[in-house]
Structure 1
Amino acid sequence: MALLDWHGERSPVPGFFDREPAEGEIDVKAVRAYRLGRVRAQMAERGIAACILTDAVNIRYATDTRNMQIFTSRNAPSRYLIVTADKTILYEFTGCMHLADGYETISEVRPAIIASFVAAGEAIAEREKRWAAATAADLRDLVGKGAVIGVERINAGAAAALAAEGFTLVDAQAPVERARAIKSPEEVKCVVASLRATERGVAKLREAIRPGITENQLWSHLFGSVIAEGGDYCETRLLNSGPRTNPWFQETGQRVIGAGELICLDTDVVGCYGYYSDFSRTFFSGPGKPSAKQRDLYKTAYEQVHHNMAILQPGLTFEEYSEKAWSLPKIYEANRYYLSAHGCGMTGEYPYLYHRMDFADAGYEGVVEPGMTLCVEAYIGEEGGKEGVKLEQQVLITETGQELLSRFPFEEALLA
C-alpha cells in the first residue's frame, strides 16, 4: 500500500510547512495577545460592552486557560469568563482557581457560582437567580448599568434572570466566531504543529490496518498518539469500515474489519496548543488490490477536493465559491457531505461554505479572507451503495491564494 508524498516525520525538505515548529519557536504570548485583541475588537465593532463566555474552547481562545473542557461546557455556567475592553475575569470551577496562575491574559480569578441542575437540584431556579445577581453586580462595576452584554450558552433560567437585571443581552457567537476566523502567523505555527503531530498518529493508525482488527482497536492508535504528542482530545470518533462507510457519520465501533474493505477516517483532533487538526483519509484493508469500484469512488472524491481547493482565493464571496465549486454527480447527491468547506481553528468554525444546490436554503453572505484556515471536504457514496470515500484537506488562505497545511498522503493504490 504505497503512499504519495509523505513528509510526516521531521522532513529535511526545506520549508516551514514540512515540519513541526521547534520547541520555543512559537511566541505563545504573542498568540494570546493577538487572540484576546481580536475578541475585544469584534466586541467594540458591535457595541458589546462585555462578553460572558462559557464555551471552554472560546475561553481558551481568549485566555489560553483550560480546565475540563467537555465537562465545563456541558455544565454551564460552571466555569465562565467575563471579557471587557480592559479586563478579563475568570470564574473558575470549585477547587481549580490555581490553574490560571501565570497567565497574563487573566486580570483576576474568582470562584464560579455553579448554576447547573446537577449542582443545585430542584433549587436550580434559586441558584440561577443568585448567579445572575452576582454576575450583574460585577458587570455594573465593570461596564455600568443597562449595558449590552454578549452571552454564550447558559441555562434558559440563568439568561432570563440576567436579563431581568436590566441588561440588553445579545448572542456572543458573532464576535467570537469572527475573531477566531482570522489567524495570525504565530497562530498558523500552532496549527501546523498540531497537524504534524496528528499526521504522525494517523501514520501509526495506517500501519496497524489489517483484516481482523476492530474499528475501535484501530482508532485507538490515533487517540493514544494524540495524547502522547500533547494534544487534548478527538472531538469525534469518525472511523468506519466496509458497509459502515456509507452513509457517512457512523462512529467507530466494535465491528471487525474484513479483507478488501475501505476504511474512512476524519481526524477531528483538538491537538497541540488546542488547535484543530482536521483532515480525512480513506484506506484499503488489503490484502490484494482495491476493486475498480473502490478506485472510482476514491478518484471522484480526490477530484472534488482538489477542484475546490484550486478555486479558493482571497476576496471570493461565499456565493461565488458555491457557484464555482465542483459539480456533484447526481448519483452522489443524496449522501453528500453537508458542507463543501468550513473554517477551522481551535475546532470547526466560521465560515461554512455550502454546495451550490444548498446555498439558497443554507448559505449566507461573506468573503474568503487572508488568514482563514479552511477544510475542503468530500464524501462520495451512492445512496444504497456498498461503500463510500471520505477525503479532506486543510488549507491556509494567503494574500495571493492558499497554502496546503495538511500533508498526510493519499493512497497510490486507490488512485491507480
Structure 2
Amino acid sequence: MMTTCADSGRIISNNHTIIQEIWYTCLLMEIPVLAKPDIDIDAVRAYRRCRVLEQMDIADVELLVLLNPVSLRYAADWREYPLYQSRIQVFDLFVERDGTMAMHGGYGALPPAIATRHPSHALNSFDGGLDIETHARCFAADVAALTTAGARVAIEQVNPCVTRALLDRGLRVIDAEPLMEAARYVKSAEEIQCLQHSIAVAEAAIDVVQSATEPGVTENQLLSLLHHANIANDGDWIDARMLCSGPRTNPWYQMATDREVAAGDLVAIDTDMIGPFGYCADISRTWLVGEVPTGQQCDLYRRAHAEITHNATLLEPGRTFREVSENAFEHDEEFIAHRYTCLAHGVGMSDEYPKIAYRQDWENDGYDGEIVPNTVMSVESFVGSDRGGPGVKLEDMYLVTSNGPMRLSTYPLEETLL
C-alpha cells in the first residue's frame, strides 16, 4: 500500500514503521518560522513589574518570594530551567516593596530587572539533601533580615518546613499565588501583542499538523510537529499531550499515543502552548481524516461551534462569572456528562484566573468575580455523547475590550463539518 506524503509529490511506503515516517513527515513538511513582531519588551517588563508592586501594596506585603517559573518570567523575565524549576525549585526570587529584586540561585546572565544574585537556598532535597529544615532556617533568616518584625511575607510553592521557619521568626506568611494571578489578570497593549504572536505561531503549527494528518501517521508523530514549531519559533513548552483521534476523542483528556490515525477519523488537538515571549496560545481544533463526514460528526461539530459562539458573546465588561455561567449555552442531556472542565478561563503566560464553571458544577467548583477590559479569555467546548461515539473539541481565545469580546485566534473552522 502506497500513499503520498502531505504537500509533496514523493511517495513513501505506508508500512507503519513509526520512526521512518515521522522523519519523512518532518523533512517534507516545512516548519514555519515567523518573523518576530517589533514589541517594546522594556514596556512589557515595566508594566508587569508595576502590576506586581501594586498587588504587594494592596496586600501590605513587605517581601514577595517567587518560585513558580511562570511567576519568575512575569516578574523578572527569568527564563532559566522553567520545567525543572516547576518540580525541583532551585531558584527563589526576593521582591522588595520598592521593586528591588534579588535572585537566589541560577547560572546564566541576569535579566535587567534583577539587581543581584546570591547562592541558592537549596530548599529541595536534590540540592540540600534530606535535611531541608536546616536550609529553611537559613532562608528564613535572610527573609527576616529584609523585613521588619511581624511583617507580612508572601511566598508560593514551598515545603511546609519553610513556612514554619518563617513563622518561627515572627513573620506573617500569606500565599503569593493570588497576588500574582491578580497581577496577571489585566494585560497591557504590549502583552496583547505577545499573545497575538504566540497565537500566530500556534496556528501555523496547527496548519502543519493538519496537513500532515493522513492514514497511518500516529498521534505522537502529529503532536511532535507542534513541539517542533514552538521551539523553532523561540517558544518554551507544551503543557499537555492533548491530541487524540478516532474513538479516543470521546471522552476528552486522552493524551497522544502511538495509535495510527485511520481514514474517517476525527482528530482533535488542544495546543496548550507556552510560546514566544513566554505567552500561552490555548486553541483547540478538530478535523476529519478524509473528505466526507458522517452525520454524527457534523452534528457534534455544529454543537461545539454553537457553544463557543454563544458563550463568547457573554464576555462583556461588568458581567459576573456567575452571570456568564447561568447564561451559558445549554446542551442536550447526553452531552452533559462528558462536558469540558469549564466553559471559559483566563489566558496569559499560562492558563490563568479566572476559571468559569458550568452551571452544573457551580456549587462545588464555581467562584464569582467580574469580567473586566483588557483581559484575555479562552472559550471552551467539548461535545461527546455519554452513549459513545466520537467527540469534538473547539476553543478560541478572546480579548475583552470595553466594547465586548474580540476574537484573537483565527484558525479556520471546518466547513465540511459545519
TM-score by length of 1: 0.90
1:258-300 deviations in Å (ceiling 9; x for gaps) = 11001110000000100000010001111x4110000100110
Q: Is the 8 A contact 1:194 1:275 kept in 2?
A: yes
User: 87, 112, 119: which one pairs with 1:111?
Assistant: 119
Residue number in structure 2 paired with 1:161: 165
Pair 1:199 & 2:203 matched: yes
Q: Which amino acid is the alignment partner of residue 80 of structure 2?
A: N
Residue number in structure 1 paired with 2:262: 258
**144-153 or 234-243, larger mean C-alpha shift:** 144-153
Pair 1:171 & 2:175 matched: yes
SS class of match (1:312): coil
Give me the CA root mean square deviation: 1.5
Q: How many Å separate the matches in 1 of 2:255 and 2:36?
A: 35
Q: Which runs of 5+ in 1 are unaligned?
A: 1-19
Pair 1:189 & 2:193 matched: yes
Q: How many Å separate the matches in 1 of 2:67 and 2:301?
A: 41
The alpha carbon displacement at 1:85 in A equals 1.4
Q: Is the 8 A contact 2:44 2:190 kept in 1?
A: yes
The alpha carbon displacement at 1:142 in A equals 2.3
Percent pairwise identity: 38
Q: Is the 8 A contact 1:375 1:395 kept in 2?
A: yes
Q: Identify which of structures 1 and 2 has the higher relative contact order when contacts are C-alpha pairs closer than 8 Å and 6+ apart.
A: 1
Pair 1:267 & 2:266 matched: no
Q: Which amino acid is the alignment partner of residue 412 of structure 2?
A: P
Q: Cα–Cα, structure 1 residues 261 and 83, in superposed 2: closer, same or farther, change >3 Å?
A: same
Q: How many Å separate the matches in 1 of 2:40 and 2:34?
A: 11
User: 128, 131, 146: which one pairs with 2:133?
Assistant: 128
SS class of match (1:150): strand
Q: Is the 8 A contact 2:140 2:162 kept in 1?
A: no
Q: How many Å separate the matches in 1 of 2:117 and 2:182?
A: 26
Q: How many Å separate the matches in 2 of 1:104 and 1:277?
A: 26
Residue number in structure 2 paired with 1:47: 60
Q: Which amino acid is the alignment partner of residue 114 of structure 1?
A: A
Residue number in structure 2 paired with 1:355: 358
Q: How does 1:4-403 map to 2 (within 5 A)?
A: 23=36, 25-76=38-89, 78-86=90-98, 87-93=100-106, 96=107, 98-100=108-110, 103-122=111-130, 124=131, 127-130=132-135, 132-286=136-290, 288-403=291-406
Q: Which amino acid is the alignment partner of residue 95 of structure 2?
A: V
Q: Is the 8 A contact 1:129 1:161 kept in 2?
A: no
Q: Which amino acid is the alignment partner of residue 63 of structure 2?
A: A
**162-171 or 336-345, larger mean C-alpha shift:** 162-171
Q: Which amino acid is the alignment partner of residue 129 of structure 1?
A: T
Q: How many Å separate the matches in 2 of 1:314 and 1:84?
A: 33
The alpha carbon displacement at 1:158 in A equals 2.1
Q: How many Å separate the matches in 1 of 2:215 and 2:37?
A: 42
Pair 1:408 & 2:414 matched: no
SS class of match (1:99): coil
Q: Which runs of 5+ in 2 are unaligned?
A: 1-32
Q: Is the 8 A contact 2:37 2:197 kept in 1?
A: no
SS class of match (1:42): helix
SS class of match (1:311): coil
SS class of match (1:62): helix
1:122-181 deviations in Å (ceiling 9; x for gaps) = 3x2xx3332x33333332332222211111111122222222222111111111000001
1:85-104 deviations in Å (ceiling 9; x for gaps) = 121111123xx0x331xx22
SS class of match (2:194): helix
The alpha carbon displacement at 1:340 in A equals 0.4
The alpha carbon displacement at 1:311 in A equals 1.8
Q: How many Å separate the matches in 2 of 1:362 and 1:141?
A: 40
SS class of match (2:146): helix
